Amino acid sequence: MQKPALNQTAGLQIVEFPHGGVKAYFITAQTTESTMQEVFDRVAAEMAEYDARISFQYLFGGRQLYPRAVSAIKNLDWPLTLLHGDACQGECSITGTQFIALSGSELNPVMDGERLVGNWYDTNDARYCLLGDIRADDLSLSREEQTLAVFEKMETLLRQADMEFTDIARTWIYLNDLLEWYAEFNAVRTRFFEERGVFEKMVPASTGIGAGSAAGEAMVCALLAVKPKHEGVKVFAVPSPLQCPALDYKSSFARAVEIDQPGSRLLSISGTASIEPGGKTAHVGDCEKQIELTMEVVHGILTSRGMDWQDTARAIVYLKDINDAFLLEKYCTEHHLPELPVAISHADVCRHDLLFEIELDAVKAD
């Protein structure tokens, strides 16, 4: 197996992932409000060189920056999910951005009314659908009602790709004021999963973070769905060697999900934090120790699937205190990790006493 090609050019970290005759490009960039236009232009120019179309973008920063972010992208024909961390005090600055671009297959738009929320595409082996910025239409609904509306909308949108809710392999779920209602959210999600037969098939990997969207919705989501075309494609949940299943403490997500297809594998690791095997928070009040345990847990999942840090395609770190970002850099330096394509977000994690969380995708190709 070869490690993914990490191309660091013009301040961008680009990882190429070939799968079934299609190439995906994971692009990570650090940016600020003043450099946003320049960074976006560089990404567009670089992807043009690869003959690739951008299909997805995350931008981390204050919601007041959303209009300027949209205007900085000259021809916005992909979903932009801008996330404003609950943990931010006052105005939030831009901290980073990530893109996914694709070449070698036609991108078929998925529309939420007149709004583009993503695309589906075919490879030789499977159909993929990547959607972002999914939100309820009626913001006067209660939080729980918005949650149900978003899950129902996911199901409806997937029909445009001839896919079902149970084809979802990965979700990203951002809740405004998460710490006030995470238990209520989990109850709605679990009930919906039960009604759709998710537990009888495969529970998706997921990230659940406290971050508001541009318009202040209770919830904004993204998803990756995969529909195999033959038995040579396997999509399955991967346990964590160092943690109990999240289902044990009534949170309905898998620790990781792997997509195996001829010639390539993608391992998507859920948002992971400092939780001991029994499900309790470890190292309360000590961010450095929480980072150390979390990174050990992630590494345990990677090595269980024959991967390592150098196989990282993209990662996002969520910090309750943005000033603790240097502790991750310290950890990586002391443990001789390769330079990781990681974006930083200032956000609340799913418990009051969790200070750090990381999600990570790793890829391997024959």
Rounded to whole angstroms, how far apart are CA atoms 23 and 265?
13
User: Given this model, what pLDDT does residue 2 score?
Assistant: 41
Token output for 201: 């098939």
The answer on pLDDT for 205 being more than 60 is: yes
pLDDT at residue number 3: 44
> DSSP 3-state helix, strand, coil percentages of the chain (rounded to 5)?
30, 40, 35
pLDDT of the residue at 87: 62
Question: What was the pLDDT predicted at 24?
Answer: 95
Percent of the chain beyond pLDDT 90? Answer: 65
pTM value > 0.85? yes
pLDDT of residue 85: 67
One-letter amino acid identity for 180? E
Domain count, the chain: 1
Distance in angstroms (rounded) separating the CA atoms of residues 212 and 58: 13
Asked if pLDDT for residue 290 goes beyond 90, the answer is: yes
Q: Specify the range with the lowest mean pLDDT, choosing from 212-216, 265-269, 361-365.
A: 212-216
Q: What is the CATH number of the domain that holds 325?
A: 3.30.1330.40
- Which domain range does residue 64 map to? 5-365
Highest mean pLDDT among 8-12, 91-95, 216-220, 309-313: 309-313
pLDDT at residue 90 above 80? no
pLDDT at 275 over 80: yes
> 307-344, pLDDT tens digit by residue?
999 999 999 999 888 889 999 999 999 999 999 999 98
Q: How does pLDDT run across 212-226, given as a tens digit for each residue?
A: 766 778 999 999 999
**Helix axis angle, 287-304 relative to 325-334, nearest 10°?**
50
- Which tens digits make up the pLDDT trace of 222-251? 999 999 999 999 999 999 999 888 777 777
User: What does 189-204 look like in DSSP terms, one character per residue?
Assistant: HHHHHHHHTGGGS-PP
Q: What is the mean pLDDT of residues 103-127?
A: 95
Mean pLDDT of the chain: 89
